[in-house]
Amino acid sequence: MSKINKKNNFTYSVSGDNLEDDFTSSIDIDKQMYEEDIRGSIAHTQMLAKQQIITKKDKEKIISGLLAIKKEILSNKFEWKSSLEDIHMNIESRLYDHIGEIAGKLHTARSRNDQVATDVRMWTKKICVQIISKITELQSSFVKIAEKNIDTILPGYTHMQKGQPISLAHHFLAYYEMLKRDLNRFQQVYSSADVMILGSGALSGVNYPVDREWLAKELDFSKISNNSMDGVSDRDFIVEFINACSLVMTHLSRFSEEIIIWSSEEFQFIKISDKFSTGSSMMPQKRNPDYAELVRGKIGSVFGSLFGMYTILKGLPLTYNRDLQEDKKHLFESAATTIKCLDVTDGIIQNIKINKDTMLSSAKNSFILATDIADYLVKKGIPFRESYVIISNLTKELTKKNIMISELTINDYKKYSQYFEEDILNLSLETAIESKNSIGGTAKKIVEKALNQAKKEIKITTDQYEKN
């Protein structure tokens, strides 16, 4: 229920009942936005004075009080009160303590509805930049480990079955490409959030000559909302943000799954650093890939937040409804989880040990060159489907006899087709890889070009956001 704060003479929700206070309060969550809230209030105050809605003297007192509050928060001396519900009322109440009745002028031409919408957008933009930076760092780690393994050969898989030989660099650069799409998505989210809402009031605009263009420039927004009702109720950008988090987490989860498989005793392609693995409480011989497993597992909470946001929004009539108080929980948790998982994945990559010999042995002890042999016959003039059948029969026969392709002689080959010549014996894992020289292929010269392009892209992104 609403009551009058006798000391400060403004209205806020307070019941005296801890259950009700706890149920309606969001301060434990939205206090993360204190920087955005204070910055927005300072800009709003400056605009009010500029437009002669308040005096210069009042402006100076309000801003002085807000800066004092920020200092208290930074020094952990600020007392957050759940009875004051949210970040906005906590700060405004404290402002009364600092400067008295003049604090009441701060909220002129502003509602909590357009205030919180602006705060959340500012916060989202800030976090997008942080995540873009984290993604760029992870991309850089993938590029560095790819450069070190441009000649490392391993099997490429489809359906978890060995398919064709590839370079490990090519494999790692696949994740670089996934992250590039993720980076682009967060740039798009930044653009979606980059809309200034202040001046929309509660829902229909304000009765004062506010300068929204000035506010947008002061708060680093490139756009201004065109409709006050949409402005105070739009949370599409939060859905877009969590969707972007969900996709980058999907890619991190896929990588974690491979790391878990590759580190298993059955594969032994890699060894995860002890920094990012743990021992068993009972079995002394084991090292468990717990960090990768947690990255894989934490995606569930981000997916849940995405569904949660859709559920919150799907039944809301215009304009603001209290349901939207729940949006920040999903937003903040998704952001925190994504940032942590990006950091952990980066740490895993930087400290991983590649077992090159094991990877090479796995590729050799297989029929991984079968497709290249089929293509050999195609180049000799045999239709691919006919060639496919010939090599399928060859591999089936070799499997029965427990013979590897590398053991075949030219006479063995000719039993299956007279088109085989001595040059078939030149086929190897290395030549098979080098023959995949189409754009985007695994041939060394193609991978080197991809690495150079990746480094250029990383530099462009880094330079762009360092300037910001």
Q: From CA 386, how far away is CA 378, in angstroms rounded?
A: 9
Pairing of strands 223-224, 195-196: parallel
pLDDT at 281: 82
Q: Which residues of 116-146 are buried (b: 16+ CB within 10 A; e: fewer)?
A: bbbbbbbbbbbbbeebbbbbbebbbbbbebb
Q: From CA 441, how far away is CA 277, in angstroms rounded?
A: 33
Q: Which residues contact 254 (CB under 8 A, 6 or more apart)?
A: 178
pLDDT beyond 80 at 243: yes
Q: From CA 198, how far away is CA 117, in angstroms rounded?
A: 8
In the numeric block, the tokens 């004051």 are attached to 84
Cβ distance 61 to 102 under 8 Å? yes
pLDDT at 468: 59
**Mean pLDDT on 9-34:** 74
Residue type, 179: L
Q: From CA 307, how far away is CA 312, in angstroms rounded?
A: 9
Digit-coded pLDDT (tens) for 346-391:
999 999 999 999 999 999 999 999 999 999 999 999 999 999 999 9
pLDDT at 286: 84
What does pLDDT average to over the chain? 95
For residue 54, give the DSSP letter: S
**Mean pLDDT on 225-237:** 98
Q: From CA 380, how far away is CA 421, in angstroms rounded?
A: 10
Q: Which residues of 306-344 are buried (b: 16+ CB within 10 A; e: fewer)?
A: bebbeebbeeeeebbeeebbebbbbbbbbbebbbebbeb
| Residue 48 host element (H or E) | helix 34-50
For residue 156, give the DSSP letter: E
Domains of the chain: residue spans and CATH: 2-108 (1.10.275.10), 113-362 (1.20.200.10), 370-427 (1.10.40.30)
CA angle 96, 101, 103 (to 5 degrees): 55
pLDDT at 2: 42
- Residue 215 has a CB neighbour count (10 Å cut-off) of 22
pLDDT at 282: 85
In the numeric block, the tokens 């290395």 are attached to 430
pLDDT at 98: 98
pLDDT at 77: 97
Digit-coded pLDDT (tens) for 252-294:
999 999 999 999 999 999 999 999 998 888 887 888 999 999 9
Digit-coded pLDDT (tens) for 305-361:
999 999 999 999 999 999 999 999 999 999 999 999 999 999 999 999 999 999 999
Cβ distance 166 to 154 under 8 Å? yes
Phi, psi dihedrals of residue 10, rounded to the nearest 5°: -135, 160
Phi, psi dihedrals of residue 153, rounded to the nearest 5°: -105, 140
- The whole-angstrom distance between residue 159's C-alpha and the CA centroid of its chain comes to 27
Q: Is the peptide bond before 319 cis (omega within 30 degrees of 0)?
A: yes
Identify which of 52, 45, 51, 47 has the alpha carbon closest to the alpha carbon of residue 102: 45
Between the alpha carbon of residue 193 and those of residues 33, 124, 253, the distances in Å are: 15, 7, 27
Residue type, 176: Y
Residue type, 432: A
Choose the weakest-confidence range: 61-70, 199-208, 459-468. 459-468
Cβ distance 62 to 95 under 8 Å? yes
Quickly state the pLDDT bin for 24 (edges 50, 70, 90).
confident
Active site residues: 159, 280
Identify which of 83, 94, 97 has the alpha carbon closest to the alpha carbon of residue 37: 94
What is the greatest pairwise CA distance in the chain? 101
| Residue 179 host element (H or E) | helix 168-193
